[in-house]
A and B are shown apart, each in its own frame.
Chain A
Amino acid sequence: MNYFNSDIREIFINHYVIYVYLSCFGTLQIVSAISNLRGIMILSNPKSNKILGIVFLVSGFIFFFSAPLFINSLSTGSGFSRATMENFASVRNVNDIDGGLHGTAQFLLFFLGCILSFFTSVIISGILRFLNKKSETLIVGKKKSRGIFTLKNYNYYSSLRLNLKGRFLDDA
Chain B
Amino acid sequence: MMLDEKITIFINNLNGKNLFWDSFFQIFASDYLVPVICALSIFSLWFLVLDSKKLLLNQKSVFYSISAIIVTNILVWLVNNLVSRPRPFIGNSDEIQLMFYAPTDPSFPANPVAIGFTVAASIFPANKYLGYILLVASLIFSFSRIYVGVFYFIDVFSAAILGFIVALLVRKIMRIKIINLILMKQIKILRLLALS
Quick check: B103 and A95 within 8 Å, CB to CB? yes
Quick check: A148 and B32 within 8 Å, CB to CB? no
Quick check: A37 and B39 within 8 Å, CB to CB? no
Interface residue? A32 (CB, 8 A): yes
**Within A13-53, which residues are at the interface with B (CB < 8 Å)?**
16, 19-20, 23-24, 27-28, 30-32, 34-35, 37, 39-40
Interface residue? B50 (CB, 8 A): yes
Contact of B32 among A19, A30, A150 (CB under 8 A): A19
Provide the residues of chain B in CB contact with A34, threshold 8 Å: 48, 50
**Within B2-57, which residues are at the interface with A (CB < 8 Å)?**
19, 22-24, 26-27, 29-33, 35-36, 39-40, 43-44, 47-50, 52, 55
Contact of B49 among A37, A89, A107 (CB under 8 A): A37
Query: What is the size category of the interface that chain B forms with chain A?
Result: 35 or more
Quick check: A92 and B27 within 8 Å, CB to CB? yes
- Nearest chain A CB to B190 CB, angstrom units: 8
Provide the residues of chain B in CB contact with A156, threshold 8 Å: 194
Residues of B within 8 A of A (CB): 19, 22-24, 26-27, 29-33, 35-36, 39-40, 43-44, 47-50, 52, 55, 73, 99-104, 190-196
Provide the residues of chain B in CB contact with A86, threshold 8 Å: 19
**Within A130-172, which residues are at the interface with B (CB < 8 Å)?**
146-152, 156, 159-160, 162-164, 167
Quick check: A27 and B192 within 8 Å, CB to CB? no
Contact A98/B101 with A37-B47, A147-B196 known, Cβ cut-off 8 Å: yes
Interface residue? A114 (CB, 8 A): yes
Contact of A114 among B22, B31, B43, B103 (CB under 8 A): B43
Quick check: B52 and A20 within 8 Å, CB to CB? no
In order of increasing CB-CB distance, the 3 nearest A-B pairs are A147-B191, A89-B23, A159-B194
24 A–B contacts from the bound complex (CB under 8 Å): A19-B32, A24-B43, A27-B40, A28-B44, A30-B44, A31-B44, A31-B47, A32-B47, A35-B48, A40-B47, A64-B32, A89-B24, A92-B27, A92-B32, A100-B31, A103-B73, A110-B36, A147-B190, A150-B194, A151-B194, A160-B193, A160-B194, A164-B192, A167-B192
Query: What is the size category of the interface that chain A forms with chain B?
Result: 35 or more
Provide the residues of chain B in CB contact with A98, threshold 8 Å: 101
Quick check: B195 and A148 within 8 Å, CB to CB? yes
Quick check: B49 and A149 within 8 Å, CB to CB? yes
A-B Cβ contacts below 8 A, count: 107
The complex places the Cα of A97 from the Cα of B103 at a distance, in Å, of 9
Contact A16/B32 with A146-B191, A148-B191, A159-B194 known, Cβ cut-off 8 Å: yes
Provide the residues of chain A in CB contact with B24, threshold 8 Å: 89
The complex places the Cα of A37 from the Cα of B36 at a distance, in Å, of 24
The complex places the Cα of A146 from the Cα of B88 at a distance, in Å, of 54
Contact A110/B39 with A31-B47, A93-B29, A163-B193 known, Cβ cut-off 8 Å: yes
The complex places the Cα of A110 from the Cα of B37 at a distance, in Å, of 11
Provide the residues of chain A in CB contact with B101, threshold 8 Å: 93-95, 98, 100
Quick check: A28 and B47 within 8 Å, CB to CB? yes
- Nearest chain B CB to A112 CB, angstrom units: 12
Quick check: A92 and B30 within 8 Å, CB to CB? yes
The complex places the Cα of A146 from the Cα of B56 at a distance, in Å, of 13
The complex places the Cα of A16 from the Cα of B103 at a distance, in Å, of 20
Quick check: B192 and A35 within 8 Å, CB to CB? no
Provide the residues of chain B in CB contact with A114, threshold 8 Å: 43
